[in-house]
Amino acid sequence: MKRLVFLTVLSLAISLSCARTTKVPQPPSQFASRIKSILPATWELVENGNEVIIRRKSPITRYDCLCLDLGWMHQPELLDKFVQESGVSADYKIRLHRATKLDTAEYARLLAINDQIRVSRGTVIPPREFYERDAMSSFDPKYRELPEYFDDTSSIYVETTLYPHDCIHPVSTAKEVEDVWKGLNSMFHPYSNNGYSRSFSFLPTEPLKREEVKILQ
């Protein structure tokens, strides 16, 4: 009898403990839901507080595309050979972090300071998991990481796992990544109106315009 009572009490204690520790899944925020709406099925999203990380489920192949031979634009098989020898398989993630909204005047002031920093081909920064758009300027103490977008209430800082000098292979994968960025660009207000858009391939991901073809010939 005593053994039966003991087991009953133990079972009840375990049940109560599980009830206390089980976390009820929280619904995604509106911020996360908007981002998820533009993602292909090959991507996934994780939300943690004010931070959202989107990730391509399959690894990418990245390669250093700084100072490559422009002749490879007409001989893509040489680029394929280079990537086979030098490319690295890696996860690709984009991290978006919401923070206190930075007004446009302060953004312009800080951007002017960052623009004074000179980056050369020999500039090197320590490796890290995520890199913002102007990460190559981060070696300078005057540098300040700036948000890329804003919405009604927040500034949105954006970083990616791709090193600033690296590209993605093959072109189809690079275009997939570019399309995700285009979706983000259409969703939020950019701080900068200079028409900047990210490119992830040494080779064009869209058909070239006639004047662009002439430049490469």
Decide: residue 37, CB within 10 A, 0-12 exposed, 13-18 middle, 19+ buried: exposed
pLDDT band at 121 (very low <50, low <70, confident <90, very high): confident
Give residue-wise pLDDT tens across range 20-65: 555 566 788 999 999 999 999 999 999 999 999 999 999 999 999 9
Rg of the chain on CA atoms, in Å: 23
pLDDT band at 145 (very low <50, low <70, confident <90, very high): very high
pLDDT band at 196 (very low <50, low <70, confident <90, very high): low
pTM: 0.82
Calpha distance 97→33 (Å, rounded): 14
For residue 120, which of 46, 66, 39 has the smallest C-alpha distance?
66
Calpha distance 209→212 (Å, rounded): 5
Residue 195's pLDDT is what? 59
Q: How do the domains of the chain map onto residue ranges?
A: 26-216
**Whether pLDDT at 216 is above 50:** no
Residue 23's pLDDT is what? 58
Mean pLDDT for 176-193 is 92
Mean pLDDT for 111-133 is 94
The percentage of the chain sitting over the pLDDT mark of 90, rounded to a whole number, equals 71
